[in-house]
Amino acid sequence: MKHKVIIIGGGSAGLACALQLKRYNIDSLIIEKDQLGGLMRNANKIENYLGFPDGISGTELQDKFILQIKNNNIKIKLDEVIKLQHENNEFILTTPLKIYKCKIVVIASGTKPKKITEVNIEKEIAHKVFYEVFELRNVENKNIAIIGAGDAAFDYALTLSERNQVHIFNRGEKEKCLPLLYNKASSEKNIHYHKRKILKSLSKKQGRLSLIFDEQKKIDEHISDYIIFAAGRKPEIDFFSGINKNKIDNLVKNKKLFMIGDVKNGITRQIAIATGDGIKAAMEMVPGVGCC
C-alpha cells in the first residue's frame, strides 16, 4: 500500500505532525502499535502544557488529543513497524500484517523503558511486574513497590497513592525528581520513601512478591502485590537498523526522513517539545512554507 507520508508512532509528536499536514491538505497515515496518545497517559498531572490553568491528567489530555485527531479524519492504522528500509527512492515499512511504501517517513516512536537486569524475573511473577503505571491505575488496597528515584517514580507514586500503599525504593541517597513532585509525595501519607535500598532478588511468596534488599550487610524483606521499575527510558528504534548512517544523514538532509519527539530529545522529553517538533517537521515538508 502506497502513501505520501507515514508517521511511525501516534504519541504527541506524531499526532501534532499529522494535524499540521492536514492543514496543507496532505493526508498522512499514522501507524501506532499500542494506543494513540503514547506515554502521556501515565502522567499524574500535567501542569506545564499551556491552556490548562489548573493542570490536566495525562489520560484527560490524551482523550482531547485523540478527539482532535478523529475530528480531522486522520488515518490511523493499529500495527507495529518492525523494519524500516529505503530502496529505489522509497521507504518500505514492514509490519506483522503487511508492507507499506511511502516517499517520506516521520519517526515519532518515543522511548521504551530500560529493562532491569540486576534481578531475575521468573515467568510466574511476570504478571505482577510493570514498567509503566497505566495498567495499574484502577487497582486499590494494594501494596505497590516502585524502584527508581526520578520524575516517573514519584509521579507514579502520586497516581497510585490515592487508593494504595506505595513504597518508593531509591538505591542511592538523593532523589532525582523535580522538587515539586518530591514535595507533593512527601505530604502523602500513603507514600513511603526509602533510600539506600538495592534490590537483590524478587520472588513469589504466598501469592505476593517478596523483595529482598541488601542494606549494609543485613537482609531486608519487603512484601508487595505489584512492582514497577521506573529506572529510565531509551529511544524506541529497534525497527530502524536496516539503513546505514550515511544514508540516514542524506535522507534527513533531503527532508525525506524526520525524527521528532522523545525518540530524539534526550533528557528534554516533554509534550510541548514533542508537539512542536511534529508541527515543525510538517512545515518543513511543504516547499515554500514559512508561516501561516
Ligand X SMILES: Cc1cc2nc3c(=O)[nH]c(=O)nc-3n(C[C@H](O)[C@H](O)[C@H](O)COP(=O)(O)OP(=O)(O)OC[C@H]3O[C@@H](n4cnc5c(N)ncnc54)[C@H](O)[C@@H]3O)c2cc1C
Q: Which residues of this chain interact with ligand X, rule CB under 6 A?
A: 8-14, 31-34, 38-40, 42-43, 46, 48-49, 80-81, 108-111, 152, 155, 236, 239, 261-262, 269-272, 274
Query: Whole-number minimum distance, CB 81 to ligand X, in Å?
Result: 4
- Which CB, 102 or 274, lies closer to ligand X? 274
- Which CB, 108 or 285, lies closer to ligand X? 108
Query: Whole-number minimum distance, CB 240 to ligand X, in Å?
Result: 9
- Which CB, 132 or 220, lies closer to ligand X? 132
Taken as a whole, the chain contains a residue count of: 292
- Which CB, 202 or 271, lies closer to ligand X? 271
For 48, residues 6+ apart whose C-beta sits below 8 A from its C-beta are: 270, 272
Per DSSP, the three-state class of 20 is helix
Q: Would you call 186 exposed, middle or buried from its count of C-beta atoms within 10 A (0-12, 13-18, 19+)?
A: exposed
Query: Whole-number minimum distance, CB 61 to ligand X, in Å?
Result: 9
- Which CB, 21 or 125, lies closer to ligand X? 21
SS3 content of the chain, % helix, strand, coil (to 5): 30, 30, 40
- Which CB, 110 or 209, lies closer to ligand X? 110
Contact between 177 and 149 under an 8 Å Cβ cutoff? The reply is yes
- Which CB, 3 or 125, lies closer to ligand X? 3
Residue labelled with grid coordinates 514535595: 183
Query: Whole-number minimum distance, CB 115 to ligand X, in Å?
Result: 16
- Residue 100, by phi and psi: left (phi above 0), alpha (psi -120 to 50) or beta? beta
Query: Whole-number minimum distance, CB 274 to ligand X, in Å?
Result: 4
Contact between 227 and 128 under an 8 Å Cβ cutoff? The reply is yes
Contact between 36 and 14 under an 8 Å Cβ cutoff? The reply is no
Whose CA is closest to 1, among 99, 95, 96? Answer: 99
Query: Whole-number minimum distance, CB 163 to ligand X, in Å?
Result: 17
Query: Whole-number minimum distance, CB 209 to ligand X, in Å?
Result: 22
Whose CA is closest to 20, among 277, 287, 288? Answer: 277
Query: Whole-number minimum distance, CB 15 to ligand X, in Å?
Result: 7
Contact between 111 and 233 under an 8 Å Cβ cutoff? The reply is yes
Per DSSP, the three-state class of 59 is helix
- Which CB, 125 or 149, lies closer to ligand X? 149
Helix (H) or strand (E) holding 201: strand 198-205
